[in-house]
Structure 1
Amino acid sequence: MPDKQHQYSVKVTWTGNQGSGTSGHRAYSRDHRIEAEGKASVIDGSSDPSFRGDPARWNPEDLLLASLSACHKLWYLGLCASAGVIVQAYEDNAEGAMLEQADGAGQFTSVVLRPQVTLAPGSDLDKARQLHHAAHEKCFIARSVNFPVSHEPQLRIASAD
């Protein structure tokens, strides 16, 4: 199958002008809205609270972590469906580490995905665990970042009630 190019577009609108624009670092809010054509919801964003952001809003770091987690989950569920592994529940408690340098620049240094997966009775735990490795190898977002993304899945078989 030949390679295919995919295009994505979003609109980010700064909503934090408090009357004097960016006349000073404390003169404006970091608030913004993220939207895309055809999407029902708008995401209210800001910067991380340590960078004068609103802690009640999503920040770019949160969204990067969520993208990595969701991409892995989607690949994992699809691979499980193809392999006959029945997933009944999936929840990830992902964590990321970002290093801020003295000049204010920074970068993520690592992300750990910690999916808790409940499988149907009779499921093959070894196969289910191997599929996490395959999902990691295929995840578009994980393949696009320049820091390590690891996964520590916790798998359990549901009781046959």
Structure 2
Amino acid sequence: MLWKKNQHEAFESGKYSRVHTWYFDGGAEIRASSSPDIIPTPMSDASAVDPEEAFLASVSSCHMLFFLSIAAKKKYIVECYEDHPVGLLKEVKGKKAITVITLSPKVIFKGNYPSTKAIEQMHNLAHSNCFIANSIKANIQIKLI
């Protein structure tokens, strides 16, 4: 991760850019910023990923990857998996925290379509195996579409 102050910014008065870059193994680089809902533009950049969005995406991605591996082991063919995770930001003991994360996965299967019960079981197993879900305090809800 790298952040640098721009030359003419008034850092000490809080008037500085929150845009920075995340670097990942394999060479991926992602522009990141605080959310403009928290720090107004131009100090934030709405086109960049903010940490809260990345957090929700990480939870959703981890769940999806385990779900796909479980489905494959059970010989179900997943054609498409789509999710739009939502987090509830709430004040807890005087501090803001994401207390609830709702995943709403929409899964399209090809051929042998599993029962609703089998899909629920695969999601439950994916949730219990997800490293990120096992590492956080937020309550994760799975709303099947």
User: TM-score, normalised to structure 2's length?
Assistant: 0.87
Please give the residue correspondences for 1:85-100 in structure 2 after superposition, counting only pairs within 5 Å.
85-100=76-91
Question: Could you tell me which of 6, 14, 17 is aligned with 1:29?
Answer: 17
Tell me the equivalent position of 2:59. Answer: 68
How far apart are 1:37 and its partner, in Å?
Answer: 3.9
Tell me the equivalent position of 1:9. Answer: none
Gaps of 5+ in 1: 1-11, 155-161
Please give the residue correspondences for 1:6-155 in structure 2 after superposition, counting only pairs within 5 Å.
12-20=1-9, 22-25=11-14, 27-39=15-27, 41-52=28-39, 53-100=44-91, 105-125=95-115, 126-154=117-145
> What letter is aligned with 1:38?
G
Report the CA distance shift for 1:13/1:100 in structure 2 as closer, same or farther (over 3 A).
farther
CA distance, structure 2, for counterparts of residue 149 and residue 83 of structure 1: 24
Q: Aligned residues, how many?
A: 140
| Partner SS, residue 137 of structure 2 | coil
How far apart are 1:127 and its partner, in Å?
Answer: 1.6
> What letter is aligned with 1:84?
K
Gaps of 5+ in 2: none
CA distance, structure 2, for counterparts of residue 99 and residue 16 of structure 1: 31
How far apart are 1:20 and its partner, in Å?
Answer: 4.1
> Aligned-residue CA RMSD in angstroms?
1.9
> What letter is aligned with 2:122?
L
Instruction: Give the conservation status (yes or no) of the 8 Å contact 1:35–1:42.
Output: yes
CA distance, structure 2, for counterparts of residue 46 and residue 131 of structure 1: 35
How far apart are 1:139 and its partner, in Å?
Answer: 0.5
| Partner SS, residue 23 of structure 1 | helix
Instruction: Give the conservation status (yes or no) of the 8 Å contact 1:31–1:44.
Output: yes
CA distance, structure 2, for counterparts of residue 37 and residue 21 of structure 1: 33
CA distance, structure 1, for counterparts of residue 79 and residue 25 of structure 2: 32
